[in-house]
Each structure stands twice: as structure tokens, then as C-alpha cells.
Homo-oligomer: A and B are copies of this chain.
Amino acid sequence: MANALLPNAVVPAMKLYDYFRSSAAYRVRIALNLKGLGIERAFVHLRRNAQREGDYLALNPQGLVPALVIGGGAVLAQSLAIIEYLDETHPEPPLLPADPAARARVRGIALEIACDIHPLDNLRVLRYLTSTLGLSEEQKDAWYRYWIDVGLEALEMRLVRDAATGRYCHGEQPTLADICLVPQLANARRAGIDLSPFPTLTRIEAACTALPEFAAAEPSKQPDAEA
């Protein structure tokens, strides 16, 4: 288990640059587990700014995790692009439904989290608030909670009223939408946000985290986890 997620068959030549607390990396870990793919990992310590060091920037100029090195040395960045790549190259089980409108629904939920909630609460943004703008910890925490609250409220409303919502965000199988939802709710919990106004989201979260593929990807279970 030392350098694996679930004890899956290792795919040679793929390597994930990971950090236990990055929720974008957490998404990719879930996808790898759902696909049954074991791959080599390297850990980039974001809080120590390892992502700003020359070696890592040469790999990924954006200086963010995750990054996935694939056969031939190409480097893929951006968690959703990486997960779509895994889905296209390892189609079973599919992480998107077959119908185009249903695919758009799943991608829309994923993007609602990945574009409109998560980036506002990224570490680099929080640092700008306190370091550059000189905001207090209270103001920073209020910012963090505000964007999660606004985002989860809209998502709860979208999911609760839509018959396409099932045991998971879309029907009866986990998809890209659930892969984005679970890490975002983990962040919300860590920030002490009251999730009781979001019963649909937490019901889906519970269904997901009961699966070993989601559970093994949790931050606290990774080799680089810290208290």
C-alpha cells in the first residue's frame, strides 16, 4: 500500500504528482481507483511550496497539482482533463453516461464545483487574501465559507429537483460529478461548515464514501498525509 491507492495492477509509465490535501488530486485518486488503475506517485508538498521549485515548474508551468505523466513523457495537467483522459483510454467502468445531454449534465455539475467553488478557496487565493490584502483570519475564513455555501446551495437546488439525480449525482453509478462532489464536501467539513441544509448532497456523499474506491482516496489515508 505504501505508494498505491488500492492494490490495483500497476500501469507502467504513468506517474501522478499528488498532494494529500489537494482536492483536485483527490478527484484523480478516486478516478484511478474506480478504473482499477495502480500507478506510481510522487508527492509535492504544497504548504512547503514544492510546486514552485524549478523541477516541478519544468514539468507543470502552472505550479499546481495534480499532474499526470503518461507514456512518452507527455505531462497532463488539470484534474478534469486527466480524468476524461483516463475515461477515454480505460473505458470501464464509464465515468460519464452515454447520452450527450446526460454527459452535459454530469460535466455541468463537475464544472460547477471545479470552476465556481473550488478555485476561490485554493491555497494560493487564501494566501493572497491574508498576505497581499492583509485580511484577518476571520475575514479569510468567512470568504472560504461564503463561496462554499453559495455553491453548495445552488448545487443542492439543482440536484434535489431533478429526476436524473439518483443514488449518485447522476443515476445509479458514480460519475465525474460525484468525483468532484466528495472532495468539495470534505473541504467544507474541514472548514466546519454546517452541511445540514444540503441533504441531497450529503446523502450522495455517504453513498460514495461507502465505496472502497472513494474511501481509499481520502486525504488522511495517503502516504504523505499529515495531521
Please, how many angstroms separate the alpha-carbon atoms of A61 and B125 in the complex?
A: 26
Contacts of A118 in B (CB 8 A): 115
Copy tally for this chain in the complex stands at 2
Could you tell me if B114 and A115 are in contact, using CB atoms closer than 8 angstroms? yes
Contacts of A70 in B (CB 8 A): 101
Measured CB to CB, the nearest residue on chain B to A57 is B157
Could you tell me if B62 and A154 are in contact, using CB atoms closer than 8 angstroms? yes
Given known A80-B107, A84-B107, A103-B84, contact A119–B115 (CB-CB < 8 A): yes
Q: Does A116 contact B (CB under 8 A)?
A: yes
Contacts of A107 in B (CB 8 A): 78, 80-81, 84
Could you tell me if A85 and B62 are in contact, using CB atoms closer than 8 angstroms? no
Chain A 72-89 against B: per-residue CB contact (8 Å), 1 yes, 0 no?
101011101110110011
CB distance from A118 to the nearest CB of B (A): 7
Q: Does A12 contact B (CB under 8 A)?
A: no
Please, how many angstroms separate the alpha-carbon atoms of A44 and B186 in the complex?
A: 34
Contacts of A104 in B (CB 8 A): 76, 81-82, 84-85
Measured CB to CB, the nearest residue on chain B to A87 is B100
Measured CB to CB, the nearest residue on chain B to A161 is B61
Q: Does A112 contact B (CB under 8 A)?
A: yes
Could you tell me if B112 and A128 are in contact, using CB atoms closer than 8 angstroms? no
Q: Does A146 contact B (CB under 8 A)?
A: yes
Could you tell me if A78 and B112 are in contact, using CB atoms closer than 8 angstroms? yes
6 pairs of residues in contact across A and B, judged by CB atoms under 8 Å: A63-B154, A76-B104, A78-B112, A119-B119, A132-B146, A133-B133
